[in-house]
Amino acid sequence: MARREERLRELAEELGGATVVAADLTQEDAPARVREALESERAGQLHLLVNNAGGAWRGRFGETGWDNVRRHMELNFDAVVRLTEALLPLLRASAPSSIVNISSTAGRVARGNSGSYSAAKFALAGWTDALHLEEGPNGIHVGLVLPGFVATEGFPQRELVERRATRWLVSTPDKVADAIWDAGPGGKAERYVPRPYWLAAVTRTVAPRLVRRALRGGGGTVTPATGGDARPAD
């Protein structure tokens, strides 16, 4: 599911047939629409839920304020929680099953200029850690994927890709897909993409002063850029 129906239909055709639901996940009725589609077209069977839709809109809190925090929370956290709540009964009834939530390395290490994005991704990571413990006994494995920089439509990572010195930092959607599989049916609790990015999270915990010093004054150049419908990356 996503908002652009035409693209969903093209993908379904490429896959040789799939049920598609075109909806904005931040809308009130979206979770119920997905659940109804699964009940009517898939006999209520659901073995893997991937909560991937997300977006980032740069800006310092002093300039973008609560509006930008709310916008991030609505898509990157609230929508995930609401969809999961609507589909949990189907996942339990279909167990063994899995949920994979896509957070971000920014959900473990915050940078300036993307505090709203980090707030939502930190929330998602914390909630996922708890859900992992709660739903295991019900036969649902809950995994977390924390990508670093990945070149996509919404996060083109132009500043990094254009410079030879930083190009190596940028990963691919295929690698994220592998990580999603590992964190879902593969049974892993969490996966960074690329894997060495876990070092950033560990360093933030064991040497926070060092990380603060390294990030001071920065955050404007390599922060994830935009969501699909956001203003272009600058």
Query: What is the CA angle 114-188-146, rounded to 5?
Result: 10
Nearer to ligand NAP, 98 or 226 (CB): 226
* Nearest residue (CB) to ligand NAP, 82 versus 132: 82
Distance of CA 131 to the CA centre of its chain: 16
75 sits near ligand NAP (criterion: CB under 6 A) = yes
In whole angstroms, give the CA distance from residue 51 to residue 53. 6
Residue 26 binds to ligand NAP (criterion: CB under 6 A): yes
| 209 phi/psi in degrees, rounded to 5 | -65, -40
Give the number of residues in contact with ligand NAP, rule: CB under 6 A: 24
Q: Judged by CB under 6 A, which of 122, 127, 155, 197 binds ligand NAP? A: 155
DSSP 2: B
Return the residue of 44, 154, 219, 220 that touches ligand NAP, per CB under 6 A.
154
Q: Burial-class residue 221 by CB neighbours within 10 Å (0-12, 13-18, 19+).
A: exposed
Pick the closer one to ligand NAP by CB: 7 or 213.
Answer: 7
Tokens at residue 183, please? 């964190």
Strand partners, 191: 145
Tell me if 150 contacts ligand NAP by CB under 6 A: yes
- By CB under 6 A, name the one of 3, 158, 175, 188 that touches ligand NAP: 3
* Spatial separation of the C-alpha atoms in residues 53 and 37, rounded to whole Å: 18
Does the active-site annotation cover 117?
A: yes
Residue with Cβ nearer ligand NAP (53 or 73): 53
CA distance 24 to 13: 21
Tell me: does residue 102 bind ligand NAP (CB under 6 A): yes
From residue 31 to residue 60, what is the string marking binding to ligand NAP with x (rule CB under 6 A)? Answer: ---------------------xxxx-----
The CA distance from 32 to 151, in Å, is: 32
H helices then E strands: how many in the chain?
10, 6
Alpha-carbon separation of residue 20 from 60, 153, 193 (angstroms): 36, 20, 27
Binders in 211-230 for ligand NAP, by CB under 6 A: 224, 227-228
- Please give the residues from 165 up to 184 whose contact with ligand NAP meets the rule CB under 6 A: none
Q: Is 2 in the site for ligand NAP (CB under 6 A)?
A: yes
Min CB(33)–ligand NAP separation in Å: 11
Least Cβ distance, residue 114 to ligand NAP (angstroms): 10
- Bridge partners for 146 per DSSP: 192
Annotated catalytic residues are 117
Name the residues that contact ligand NAP, by CB under 6 A.
2-4, 7, 24-26, 52-55, 75, 102, 104, 147, 149-150, 152-155, 224, 227-228
